[in-house]
Amino acid sequence: MKVFDSISGLQQYLAEAKKKNRTIGLVPTMGALHKGHESLVKRCAAENDECVVSVFVNPTQFNDKNDLVTYPRTVESDCALLEAAGCTAAFVPSETEMYPEPDTRVFDLGPVAAVMEGPRRPGHFNGVAQVVSKLFDIVKPDKAYFGEKDFQQIAVIRRLVQLLAFPIEIVSCPIIREADGLALSSRNTRLTAEQRKIAPVIARTLNESLALAPKKSVNEVIAFVTDTINRVPGMEVEYYEIVDGYSMQPVTDWSETAYPVGCITVYCGEVRLIDNITYAN
């Protein structure tokens, strides 16, 4: 595996690969890699000749500066995981390499970015669009891989691809979970031992709610999930919405969508955890 910290170094390497008609896959990450990322990298490596993984904690997508400061940074162990998972080129740029001057671009991300995480994390999706579009321009991959834990983010990336006409296939990959159901996240490392014990209630409750739909109304299912989790001391649901899995718009009746997805954000102490589940319809 080659490791690049400069855009020009990576591009020289990729130019050689492209001359040989090698296909290129990209997995954008912010590091602190875990088995969820590993599954993306393995899939990317299996489906492409070159598997490029970027490791960059993107400052422009953090609406909470404390979150940026405390975001885990583990570059050495990240590189070991990447090499073992089949990454051929790791791209680990500095902030000035990615943003030699402030990125002032504002993207029209449309309705998919206007709900759930959008209004609650102002500027977040625009920051994601800034860094992902930059990575797409640098790498020019054939395919790019994203995890479904950040379900709304995938819809935003698809919108970005459409907006800027990137000739890139977006591959969405299933959530990887701990044995007790907790969705893998770099933020899980911030949970105390006590919080780690209670955090699986999120996935457990979402799973239990599958049995309620569609016998119960959308609102009843939302109330079940929210109340069950809020009853656990130390947990507070920020929102639970059932949306159409393509448009991200909330539904009030199961008949409004063929693809109902429940998206949740929960504060476990200070740690903001997200998860989602697809209901059969």
Pick the piece of the chain touching ligand PAF (CB under 6 A) from 99-107, 125-133, 248-256, 259-267: 125-133
**Mask of contacts with ligand PAF, 134-173, x by CB under 6 A?**
----------------x--x--------------------
Please enumerate in sequence order all residues whose Cβ is within 8 A of that of 203, keeping only pairs 6 or more positions apart, or say none. Answer: 177, 180, 181, 182, 183, 275
- Please confirm, yes or no, whether 37 is among the known catalytic residues: yes
Q: Which helix (H) or strand (E) holds 155?
A: helix 151-164
CB 39 within 8 A of CB 183: no
Site for ligand PAF (CB under 6 A): which residue of 30, 45, 129, 229? 30
Sheet strands (E) in 5-46? 24-29
From 68, 41, 78, 39, select the one nearest 183 (Cα to Cα): 39
What is the amino acid identity at position 259? Y
CA 30, CA 50: separation in Å to the nearest integer? 20
Q: Which of 32, 37, 135, 209 is catalytic?
A: 37
**Mask of contacts with ligand PAF, 178-207, x by CB under 6 A?**
------------------------------
- Closest to ligand PAF by CB, 120 vs 231, is 120
CA 264, CA 224: separation in Å to the nearest integer? 13
Rule CB under 6 A: is residue 32 a binding residue for ligand PAF?
A: no
Rule CB under 6 A: is residue 29 a binding residue for ligand PAF?
A: yes
Site for ligand PAF (CB under 6 A): which residue of 45, 109, 115, 132? 132
Rule CB under 6 A: is residue 128 a binding residue for ligand PAF?
A: yes
Q: Is the dihedral of CA 206, 208, 210, 213 positive or negative?
A: negative
In whole angstroms, the minimum distance from the beta carbon of 131 to ligand PAF comes to 5
- Closest to ligand PAF by CB, 30 vs 52, is 30
- Closest to ligand PAF by CB, 132 vs 237, is 132
CA 44 from chain centre, in angstroms, equals 16
Strand partners, 261: 243, 278
Q: Which residues are the active-site residues?
A: 37
Q: Which residues bind ligand PAF (CB under 6 A)?
A: 28-30, 58, 61, 128, 131-132, 150, 153
